[in-house]
Amino acid sequence: MIAIARERRSRPNLEYRVADLFEVDDEGFDLVYSHTVLHHPPDYRAGLEQLKSLVRPGGTVALIDNVCDFYPTPPRRVYTWGAIRGFPAEIRRVGLRHAWFELRFWHSKPWLEHLLSDRYLSRAQFREIYDTVFPGAEYDDLGFALAMRWKDERGG
């Protein structure tokens, strides 16, 4: 994804990086963006605190992470049925060949093992934890995930 972003959205004042959250040593960033990865660190709150520490005064944190109100790890059938239900729409969106590739990927053993190792917060847990780390944050419910925006008001 980073290679695609570099190719399609390259800008002189923009740098794309892939790094372990706890190993980033930098003077800070104007924008820290994370998409569906923050449920992976073993200590959720520590991951959020580290992410917050990477934002310069006046900077913004924008993130999206999966949530599930029924169980921390959805059962396998949730993923496989969802992929099958979405298959006709994917055919219309990207064509049969690409949709078939996606369907096979969504049902592949490595991908399902990855999904079944995930642990999600409920919406209430998400807001409770994020509100303590990012006071005044704004949220959007995306169905499968919550999006959060927070601006560091120090000096900004």
CATH number at residue 17: 3.40.50.150
> Domain limits at 93?
76-116
* Rounded distance between C-alpha atoms, residue 86 and residue 78, angstroms: 12
**Residues 6+ positions from 154 with CB-CB distance below 8 Å:** 57, 58
Are 64 and 105 members of one domain? no
Query: Rounded to two decimals, what is the model's pTM?
Result: 0.73
Are 39 and 109 members of one domain? no
Are 64 and 140 members of one domain? yes
Is residue 107 in some structural domain?
yes
Is residue 156 in some structural domain?
no
Is residue 68 within 8 Å of residue 120, measured between CB atoms?
yes
Tens-digit pLDDT profile for residues 20-64 = 888 887 788 899 999 988 888 888 899 999 999 999 999 999 999
* Number of structural domains the chain divides into: 2
* pLDDT of 13: 85
Are 55 and 130 members of one domain? yes
